[in-house]
Amino acid sequence: MQDHSTGQELWQGFIRFYRLPDVEPLLLKLQDNNGLDVNQVLLAGCLAEQGISWQADYITEEYVQWREEALKPIRGVRQTMKHLPSSMPTEQEEVRKQIKSIELEVEKHAIQLLWTVIADDWSQSLMKELPESVDLLSQNVRAAISGMSLIEDIKKGESDQLIHLLATQFETKN
């Protein structure tokens, strides 16, 4: 039996969705260009897999503060380093990789913050026979995106494409 108290199952779900064909580049594009919170989209997918509807209160002030004050600045440093000239490119790339590793740990903590809020709903869903649904996935992703403060609105075609790509997770499981 898996341990449902740590959020490891949620992390694995995030990885599963993120690694679907064409999902990573689209998520990163929407993150960079529009300010999309990738964690919220992946959470929406994981919740749909469990038959759980999106709730706006899953996104707490603590999570938002962590994302804004810890995660985004670290990501910004890593992204800036990509474009800095260097007389020591190998060493600079090594530092950038170390920052990326730290960024991943900060990301995992953000996901743990999400887990603390959804854990009860997740545990209850395990006791029910709820069918996963592409419709629920679509509803969850659209609700998650609508609750975000985006730099620029995401075009409908891009959100439809994202939902379609994430929905392949349901197809591969059946």
The pLDDT, as a whole number, for residue 174 is 52
* Contact criterion met (CB below 8 Å) for 87 and 115: no
Residue 146: is its pLDDT beyond 80? yes
- What is the distance between the alpha carbons of residues 58 and 78, in angstroms, rounded to a whole number? 28
- What is the distance between the alpha carbons of residues 12 and 92, in angstroms, rounded to a whole number? 31
Global pTM reads 0.84
**For the chain, what are the domain ranges?**
8-173
pLDDT digits (tens, 9 = 90+) for 37-89: 999 999 999 999 888 899 999 999 999 999 999 999 999 999 999 888 889 88
Three-point CA angle 71, 75, 77, nearest 5°? 125
* Contact criterion met (CB below 8 Å) for 59 and 143: no
